[in-house]
Structure 1
Amino acid sequence: MVALVMPLATKAGSTGQPSTCKGCPLYGVGKGFVLEPAPVWSKIKMAIIGEAPGTNEVLQGKPFVGKAGWWLLKNILNPAGLSRKDVYLDNTLRCLPPKNKQGEAYPVGTDKLQAEMHCRQYDKLVPSNVPIMLVGGKALGQKLGLTGISDWHGHVTLQAGQLVGCTFHPSAVMRQPNLLPVAIREHYNLLTAHANPSILKHPTVVKGMLSDQAGPMVFDLEWDIKSKEITCIGVAYEADKAYSTYDVVASKELLVSRLTASRLVIGHNVIDADFNVMGHHPTNYSPSCIFDTKVVAHLIHAHLANLGLLGLRATVSYYRPTTGWKEDKEDLLEYNGRDCAYNYYLYEQLCADLDTTNQWHLVEKQQRLARLAVLMRERGVDIDLRAVRRYHREWQGNKQLLKDDFPFNPNSPKQVIAFFKEEGITLRDTKEVTIKRQADRHPLMEQLADYKELGVKPITTWFPLGKSKVHPTFNVTGTDVARFSSSEPNFQNIPPSLRRMIVAPEGMVIVGLDFSQIENRCVAWLAGDKQMLADFASGMDFHRLSASRIYNKRYDDVTDWQRYEGKKTIHSTNYGETAASLAERVFGSRRQGAVADAVALQEAYFGAYPAIRTWQRQVSDNFERGDITLVNPFGRVRYIYGQDAHTRKKKGCHYYGCSSAADIVNQRALDIWEAEGLVPILIVHDELVYCLPVGTATATIARLKDIMTQPVKEMGGLVVPVTAKVGADYGNLRIPE
């Protein structure tokens, strides 16, 4: 199949558009004209519509021949069962537009509407028996009048007798490879719907009544967000039929009776949401009693966590084609019942995946962690409101005074880089860490570092000015490495200077229990590096000891700067970062000399701990053999997607080390909850933070440390030391005497 480049009917040297494009706002400013001729439609299994041709498409006169097109063919269509000869490729526009103010090569406003409409004159009429896949938001808007591909991906609809689906553009998948399995499945699902259109039929919803039947039961509540008043309740015992009713009282009695009897109840995000609204929480979080499909979906699809694609619609449409049930809310009972039936289908698929990945043993742990996260939110964190207000006033004043002292706008990277270039200092960027590394090279650089230290974000990002207690939302499904995430506000990333705003109530103290070097210890164990494990077991300052090996110096002769360089080398190199990245971390530069020094540091590190490099190569080799499945020592599974071998190696090594550490931290939080009944106020990376009564704190800390330092049986009895610090506020914790 050869793409048709229409002959130019205008003067030489113009943009390559035919005279039939006159009247289009892109005429004379767009480049090229790309249109694939009509194929033999009986041989076409799918028509794919993208956005606009790129530079390669214009040069070759063919659609989807650039890198995104290669990704579409090799990484998406082929795994979905399609070849190039099976598809007809098209775009919403025929030429490469100039970039708009946002830097995107696509028109906006009325120009966009007129250009897309003008290009329709060249469309090939796709027969109704050929399904159409819209890739990207531009095609979604142009063909279906919808906005937000992240909201609509996986949606399949019947338009004028023709099946139309939508998914992410291959360029978006290239930027975020974790979308790859989603794009593959959504192409496959469109083919499935084409072969069996009845699969798009919505489940039957019996309205006005509920039924108590044997076997697993899915339930779902609808409620008013402000009042938390439940409006209707639905249940399902199969994937094709559900029940929904406004009789809330009787329905709640049914749910509570099942929970009390430990009969299996299934729901999506029910531990964090529905149980709270009901005011009833189960006591048994075994998957034979409770099955939260969002929590379990995170176990199966952890790679989608950071993308926010673990909602009910997104996960159901991964497994099967669906059409618009989440967007149609006119009939609340119908909507509620469909949620239940589709969630039952999801439950069945997740059970099969748990069997395949052998992760059933992790379900109860994750569901208990979800309940612990709810208790943490309910407990809240006490704030020194006066200090918050005082800091806010000072921040506003100090920020403006410092800003006025600069001969450039300190918030403008362009102006900052240009100014210091004139002063003989080349900056790669204006990040805080970069400026701090160069602070001693110019007085204004030091002043800029102070300005950066104040922070661009106001204190109200974390602490409201009118509350002495905040209730962050902690989430066990928010990261792809099993760590907790936090929002409203994000207490995982509070600047160290602001931690002092978190205080203990009268008669209490804050206790931080921090695992010592837990990720590095996990990496040493995973790699089987006996030297590193021995260095940790020595009881000496590990970073000084490792630096002595890197620099081939006596332990006592290692300088503080060498210790710093060694520490940065370990943290960077363990997870496969490049020498250039290490050079920027340590020396604040990617210049040739700095990179050469970083290479020397990494080689010396691998010389001291050779098993680390061997382990990294094993991880990388497995990927290159096509095995993208990782299983950490606890049996937690993660699939790794990346554009190149180096990215895959980095992601893989990071997952192994970080998820292993997270599993230890999370399990100890559960152990303490079970043994002591204590709920942490924070879980920040490798630290559990509690608020304890002053009088019993010492004895309690001793018991907590005993629990936390128990041997990790999944890692051959590895013991990770814990440091306890105590204080009246979180920013001034000290090791007790």
Structure 2
Amino acid sequence: MDVKLTLNLRSPTAAEAPEDVTERIASATKRKKAAEETIADAWIRILALKNTDADRDKLLAVKDAMDTGVTGRHPSSVGKRFSKAEAMRIYEDLRVSIREERLRSMVAKTPANYFLIDNERLLARLNDRLRKETEVAVDTETTGVDVYTDVIVGLSLTLPSVSIPPLAEKGMHVYIPVSHDEGEQLSRDYVLQELRWFLYSADIGKVLHNAIFDIAMFRRHGSDLRGVIWDTMVAMHLLNENEPSFRLKDLAPKYLGVESDTFAELFGKTPFNEMPLDIALAYAAKDTDLTWRMYQFQRKHFASLPTVLEYYETVEVPLLYVIVDLEANGYILDLDFAKEYGEQLSARAKELHTKLIGVLAKHHEGDGELNLNSTPQMKAVLSKEIGRDIPNMDAKKTLKPLGREFEIIADLLEYRKITKLSGTYIDALPTKQNPTTKRWHSRFNPMGTVTGRFSSGKDEDAADSNQFNVQNQPEEARKMFLAPAGKVLVSADFKAQEIRCTAYMSGEPVLIEAFEKGIDPYANMASMYYKRPYHEVYKLPNGEDTPERKAMKVVWLATLYGMSDFSLADMLGLKKPEATAFKEELFGSMPKLSAWLKANEEHVAKYGFVWADKQQRKRRLPDGKLKRKEIPYGKWNDPKYEEWRKHNGKINRAMRQGTNARVQGSSAVQTKVTMIKAHEACEDREGWALWGTIHDELVFELPEEFTREDIAVIERIMTQSYSWGNVANGTDIAIMLRWGKGVTPDEWFKNKEAA
């Protein structure tokens, strides 16, 4: 019997086919698509993804390497679709080879005037040449960035006036290794001793980049670095505070036309002491070479800014030594208090967590337990609980006002405050004790903001730093900080610093009169605006601000900090037109102040910058000079004009920032000049030290047997170091054994006499 076989070549449907057949079909289809996509098409697809800037740079490096035949795909990947993940794996392999090639090239191209000083004869010859210099660039190479624990492994110096025949270019750039793992070198102690005369000489100017670090590193080894005349990092902040980065390796390509790799790009996480000396020379000598060139570049540009140059040399440079001492002094924490307080906070947090979950869980529709830290979840359940749609979870603008009305929201705010306080401060701070000094240390950045205000925190290059932000300690956490045994903390603030500055710069009689009479300027404005007696608008019986004084302060701070009228309306609980009218009417009653505010905006619009007091600092606001886009009437919310709205928004922000920049910048100058005077006083008195600069407050560390005359000295420092013309300075002083718990000097001496 004949059997006829019929082959059904129809592909089975997903419903008909077994699972493994479906998977094979999908896999085959995928392989076919992968085979059909060219590498060029794959790159178009990959580069069109939402890549970070860092990832995009890596991807482009891989693409370039593949295009030029430097690298290619791994054989195991052939036939598979080229993906971003594969490209990033290629980059990791490529990075190693690129790094090795860069190092080889760097050594091969080491300039002829770069010299390794690795024996006594060469060091003696270097000393002879140093004696003929008036200015020298200096840098240290170290095992890390902790100035209390890491160590110096080498010194770099640039001697700019040395001529070495037959080289045409003047200048000698040297590296002195002192603690590398391999290679002939001198000991650190020997080098520091032989160079002591130079390091301690104020007659030979020292030029550095980030001098605070290097000064501290020299002191780490019982040495010092005196005679610093220039810090190119600080100077660049004054020449262009809007730079995206102030690292020397980022500034050199932009301003000197010299490509320069960062430490991480060249060495990764390998400590510098493990570098061979030929590589160390090429890298380290280049640092001072670039520092010296940057110094020359900056000197040239400062020639057109004589008032800024004078300020830089007389304030910012001397301040470097103040900061080194301030950071080194460090802090003492009461660990027993931290533990006890932490336990109290933890118990309260658990109590609030239980309460919040108990009330809100019934509204939660997602899988798993309600997450109190989830913005989407909390927005949904809170809206249901209070029967009102919550537009957002902004704590200040949205939740805080609602918290006055709804207990559950007040509980959530307290819970969040406690968990942040515990996690960021009470629990975390005790772990940041420096193992070498047994104290806690913070970094103080004299150019922490674009206006020149200080900021505090850790070194940006130290991912695992145990430093912390002392300026950001909330009131509750400040109680952990103790005065050292036998010492007290004396806090002195610049009383109403910014409004005094404004009174001086604007010449507004209403403000000046308040300070002449010794009365509160906000209450004085409220009295004038609301036409009510001063005492009625100053304080409530419980000591809190009256609504009238609070409104004056809100309007004032909104104007000073460049807030929009929308933000002002939110803060006052008004509609925008009402807030605008309120502000205009208030400032309209102070014509000189209004004219000054307007003049600041006009200056930004015309020149794109404003000056701080006496033209000592410049705040560049280039967006103020942009030409405004005219959005057709009724089209403000039209998506078509979104970019135009953003453009005009940049102009508006620049205009609002003009006044803030003048006041903040001038106040920063006052603070820094006063810190220098305070430091001088501390150096002249046994047991005195500058403990901290916290916003508009300086904190001194004094022996507990201080006198009334000592307090008078501090008062004079705070009020007479830098004046606002005919507007007198003021200060409030408090004596503390524990930061944040102080008494007035009169109370202190009264208690002492009664004891």
TM-score, L = length of structure 1: 0.69
Aligned with 2:158 (options 217, 236, 240): 236
Contact 1:217 1:265 in 2 (8 A): yes
Q: Which moved more, 1:618-627 or 1:320-329?
A: 320-329
Aligned with 1:673 (options 672, 679, 702): 679
Alignment of 1:166-565 (within 5 A): 204-208=113-117, 209=122, 211=126, 212-213=129-130, 214-215=132-133, 216-225=135-144, 228-238=150-160, 241-246=172-177, 247=186, 248=188, 251-253=191-193, 255-258=195-198, 259-260=200-201, 262-273=203-214, 274-282=217-225, 284-285=227-228, 287=229, 291-304=230-243, 309-326=245-262, 327-328=265-266, 330=275, 331-358=279-306, 359-361=308-310, 362-406=312-356, 407=360, 409-422=371-384, 423-424=387-388, 426-432=390-396, 434-457=398-421, 458=423, 459-460=425-426, 463-465=429-431, 467=433, 469-487=439-457, 488-558=467-537, 560-565=546-551
Alignment root-mean-square deviation, CA:
4.2
1:599 aligns with 2:605: no
Cα drift, residue 606 of structure 1:
1.1
For residues 578 and 430 of structure 1, do their structure 2 counterparts lie closer, same or farther at Cα, with a shift above 3 Å needed? closer
Q: In the aligned structure 2, how far is the partner of 1:425 from the partner of 1:609?
A: 41
Q: In the aligned structure 2, how far is the partner of 1:337 from the partner of 1:606?
A: 58
Match of 1:70 in 2: none
For residues 679 and 655 of structure 1, do their structure 2 counterparts lie closer, same or farther at Cα, with a shift above 3 Å needed? farther
Match of 1:93 in 2: 44
Q: In the aligned structure 2, how far is the partner of 1:241 from the partner of 1:109?
A: 39
Deviations along 1:258-306, one digit per CA (max 9) or x if unpaired, are 2425212222223332433453334555x3xxx22223233323333xx
Q: Which moved more, 1:404-413 or 1:495-504?
A: 404-413
Aligned partner of residue 672 in structure 1, secondary structure: helix
Q: In the aligned structure 2, how far is the partner of 1:506 from the partner of 1:557?
A: 45
Indicate the percent of aligned positions where both proteins have the same amino acid: 21
Q: In the aligned structure 2, how far is the partner of 1:298 from the partner of 1:461?
A: 35
Amino acid at match of 2:735: V
Q: Which moved more, 1:642-651 or 1:666-675?
A: 642-651
Amino acid at match of 2:482: V
Match of 1:699 in 2: 709
Amino acid at match of 2:420: V
Match of 1:720 in 2: 729
Match of 2:630 in 1: none
Match of 2:464 in 1: none
Contact 1:620 1:645 in 2 (8 A): no
Deviations along 1:33-62, one digit per CA (max 9) or x if unpaired, are x99xxxxxxxxxxxxxxxxxxxxxxxxxxx
Contact 2:526 2:549 in 1 (8 A): yes
Q: In the aligned structure 1, how far is the partner of 2:597 from the partner of 2:44?
A: 45
Match of 2:718 in 1: 708
The answer to which structure has the higher helix fraction is 2
Match of 1:30 in 2: none
Contact 2:488 2:702 in 1 (8 A): yes
- Which structure 1 residue ranges, 5 or more long, are not aligned? 1-20, 28-33, 36-90, 99-103, 122-137, 148-154, 159-199, 588-592
Amino acid at match of 1:482: G
Deviations along 1:407-451, one digit per CA (max 9) or x if unpaired, are 153322222322343322534433256422321211212212322
Cα drift, residue 656 of structure 1:
1.0
Aligned partner of residue 612 in structure 1, secondary structure: helix
Deviations along 1:476-509, one digit per CA (max 9) or x if unpaired, are 2332222222112101111112111112234432
Q: In the aligned structure 1, how far is the partner of 2:711 from the partner of 2:282?
A: 53
Larger Rg: 2
Match of 1:579 in 2: 565
Q: In the aligned structure 1, how far is the partner of 2:620 from the partner of 2:251?
A: 16
Q: In the aligned structure 2, how far is the partner of 1:107 from the partner of 1:569?
A: 40
Deviations along 1:300-353, one digit per CA (max 9) or x if unpaired, are 23333xx5x222212222312333444445511221111121111111112112
Q: In the aligned structure 1, how far is the partner of 2:291 from the partner of 2:258?
A: 12
Aligned partner of residue 420 in structure 2, secondary structure: coil
Match of 1:150 in 2: none
TM-score, L = length of structure 2: 0.68
Aligned partner of residue 456 in structure 1, secondary structure: helix
For residues 402 and 539 of structure 1, do their structure 2 counterparts lie closer, same or farther at Cα, with a shift above 3 Å needed? same
For residues 441 and 325 of structure 1, do their structure 2 counterparts lie closer, same or farther at Cα, with a shift above 3 Å needed? closer
Amino acid at match of 1:256: R
Contact 1:271 1:367 in 2 (8 A): no
For residues 471 and 25 of structure 1, do their structure 2 counterparts lie closer, same or farther at Cα, with a shift above 3 Å needed? farther
Match of 2:554 in 1: 568
Aligned with 1:612 (options 580, 586, 593): 593
For residues 25 and 471 of structure 1, do their structure 2 counterparts lie closer, same or farther at Cα, with a shift above 3 Å needed? farther
1:658 aligns with 2:664: yes
Cα drift, residue 113 of structure 1:
7.1
Q: In the aligned structure 2, how far is the partner of 1:376 from the partner of 1:253?
A: 26
Q: In the aligned structure 2, how far is the partner of 1:26 from the partner of 1:416?
A: 48
Q: In the aligned structure 2, how far is the partner of 1:649 from the partner of 1:142?
A: 44
Cα drift, residue 511 of structure 1:
1.6
Q: In the aligned structure 1, how far is the partner of 2:551 from the partner of 2:477?
A: 27
Amino acid at match of 1:464: P
For residues 261 and 565 of structure 1, do their structure 2 counterparts lie closer, same or farther at Cα, with a shift above 3 Å needed? closer
Match of 1:67 in 2: none
Q: Which moved more, 1:209-218 or 1:562-571?
A: 209-218
* Corresponding pairs, count: 577
Aligned partner of residue 614 in structure 1, secondary structure: helix
Contact 1:203 1:240 in 2 (8 A): no
Contact 1:417 1:430 in 2 (8 A): no
Q: In the aligned structure 1, how far is the partner of 2:256 from the partner of 2:246?
A: 15
For residues 607 and 577 of structure 1, do their structure 2 counterparts lie closer, same or farther at Cα, with a shift above 3 Å needed? same
